[in-house]
Every structure is written in structure tokens, then in C-alpha cells.
Amino acid sequence: MLGTERLSHLLCLSIWFCCALRCIDGLENGVAQTPPMGWMPFERFQCTVDCIHFPRDCISESLFKRTADLLVSEGYAAVGFQYLIIDDCWMERIRDTSTQKLLADRKRFPSGMSALSRYIHGRGLKFGIYHDVGQQTCMFRGPGARGHFELDAQTFADWGADYVKLDGCYATESERNRGYPAFGKAMNRTGRTMVYSCSWPFYTEKPDYRLIAKHCNLWRFAEDITDSYTSVFRIMELYRRNQELLLAHAGPGRWNDPDMLVLGNFRLSYDASRLQLAIWSVIAAPLIMTNDLETVRPEIKELLQNREVIAVNQDLLGMPGKCVRASKYFQVWVRPVTPVNDLGQHSFAVAFVNRGGFDACPLCPRNFEVVLERLGLDSPTGYYVVDLFNSSRNMGMFKPNDAFNTRINPEGVTFYKFTVAPLY
């Protein structure tokens, strides 16, 4: 029986690995084997272009140089946050009249994009940039890629871009269905390796994720996130309702993108910050911060630099997790991770969510108890359990028929790694 179980696990892993290779081959770039980690300004800084009255918040080379320095000096780069990505509002409103090339805004980026890219690379980071597949960018601040795919892809390559985010505004569905694959192929033809982030499914009523996964490294499937628990949970629910479809096409080189991490801004509570970080790690989402790194509170910085949680997000199995139990008040999210024992059975990261809203006390902590085998944790060797938000807290050994009890703050999460025990 145990030999049959092991063979079944290995067969599943082989099928999954072959599927992953096929999808990577379709894109032909071999990057983003784990979810990208980095920083992007949009939710925090929006499209602020008045550098006279708002110099610290203005989308400018000053903001990106400052952030590059802080990613390194404050320890974010050391734990994996390597992509510094410029979002919308960086362009001049028209192309160069002689070459038709894109131009950075001359007042806000006086040194130009090549110089900014060199600065970012000089800090040991990677440079990302925003564009749009349609006629113009979403914030009306510059021309889109329509009619200039080869030129724009080559321009980004010449600037030393390592990551391109391609939005989908001001294009028809047929234009997007042709444009996203075409721009990706144009990127490949430059000879420079660039992560390709597509907003394709967000603009499509019935996305073909098989096709999207063939052409994109990651894809936005949800609305723009905002700095609130409500927004975070709404995106979680969208993933949960569509998780079988989303899971079927995700893996190394191809990731579901629920949008940025909003930790460290104005409204998200500490517990909701833990919640977003845990769920984004379970579903193998890109960890792209959007905040002012100079003003991130120490307790939030500690969360963002939690190496144990980041290890879950970056787990080399590359198998995204899902919600396995949901009720009015609680959810349980589970992801298979390394190590795997000699029986081919996985370890797991498990997030227990308290949605709040109890009639007697809507915002009270609550206990939650479940027998592990009901969550799919069925290895006869058992599991060693550690609290991922408190790695010094060893919970001991649990077998599949044991009940696991946890106390969860309202609109919050507890997050554990269940490391499968070896076969002695």
C-alpha cells in the first residue's frame, strides 16, 4: 500500500513538472521560477506628478533612487525583494517625433531611463518598467504599445529592463488576445531576459488561462488592490471561487498575481497585514510591495522580512495552495511545500483565517480546532509544527488523527508549517 502511495505521489509530481516545462517553453524565457519579489509605487504613490508641491511622493527618478537605496540599506534586498518596478506615469505624452521611441518625462526623469536602470543595477537590484498593450496607458500619461511592439520591446531591452508589466487599457479584447502574445514574442526576440507581467485576464470576461500561461510569467486576475482588509479579503474570495481554474495553470515561470502587498501604509491593521502576507504566500503570489520604505513601521518591516514566511512563498516545489475549508467565520488555506519524505508525502504551510463577524462579539479572537487528516495532512509519519510568525514557537509533533487547535484574532490569521516527519 505504501509503495503504491509513493508511486502515485511521484507520478503526480512528474505530470506537474512536465506541464510546467511545456508552459515555460511557450514563453521561452526561463525566468520567474519562483514568484517575483520587489517594489512598485502605484497603490501608495498613485500617479502623483506634481514634484513642486509633493516632491517626496512624485513619480520621479528621485523616488526610485531613494527606494533603491532603502531596499538595500533596510535589508529588503537581502531577503529577496529584488525588482524595482516603475508603474504608470513615467512617460512623456508623445513619442519621439523622429524615432517614434518612448520617452521618459524630461522634468521628472532628467537623467533618462538608461541612467536610472544603471543606478538600480548598481545597487544589485533589477529594473522593471510599465507599459500598455493598447493606444495609451491607463492613467492617460503616455502612448501605449499599439503599432510599436518590436520598437518598444527593444527600447526596454536597450534600457536594461529585467521586468515588463503590460497593462490592458484602451484596447479591444481581440487586440489584447493578439497583442499580449505578440509583445511577449517581441521581448524574446530582443535577446534580453525579461519577466513578463500581463494584465490580460483582468480585462477578459472568460480568460483562457492555458493560453495566458503559455505567453506570460505572471498575470493579474483581480482588481487593483487598496489599503484595506475589505480589499484584501475580496481578492482572496475571488481566488477561492476560481481556485481550481487558477491552480491548473500556475507553477514555476507562471504565477497568479492578486496585486501588490499593501503592508506598511495607512489603513491595513497589523493582523490584516499578517493575513495578506500569509495568503499571498500560500497561493504563491508575487510579493511586490507598495509603500514608502522610509515610513514603514518596525513591526510591519519585521513581517515583510520574515524569512520563514518568504521561504513558503518561494518554495521550490512551485505548487500553489488553495482554500480547503470555508465557513461563515473561518477559512483554512493549505499549500504543499518542501521537504518531501521518502514516501513522497509533502510538508504543508497552513493558514487559519478568522473572518470576524460573530454575532455575540464580531471583533473577538476565536478558537478553531480541526483534525489534520480533514485538511489533507495524512502522512502516517506525522508532522513537526512551527508557528511561522514566531519561529521559536515549536508546537510539537502531530499525527493525522490529532486535533489541532489555534486561537485567531478577528480579521486575522495564524500561520504554521507542518514539516512531514521522515521515515525511520
* Catalytic residue ranges: 167, 224
136, 171 contact by CB (below 8 A): no
For strands 346-354 and 390-398, give the pairing: unpaired
The Cα-based distances of 269 to 127, 174, 225, 331 in angstroms read 30, 41, 15, 19
Cell numbers found for residue 335: 499549500
**To which residue does cell 519579489 refer?**
37
**To which residue does cell 509603500 refer?**
291
Residue type at 177?
N
Maximum CA pair distance of the chain? 72
CA 384 to the chain's CA centroid: 28
Cα separation, 187 vs 309, whole angstroms: 33
Of the candidates 312, 297, 331, the one whose C-alpha atom is nearest the C-alpha of residue 386 is 312
Task: Tell me how crowded residue 106 is: count the other CB atoms within 10 A of its CB.
Answer: 9
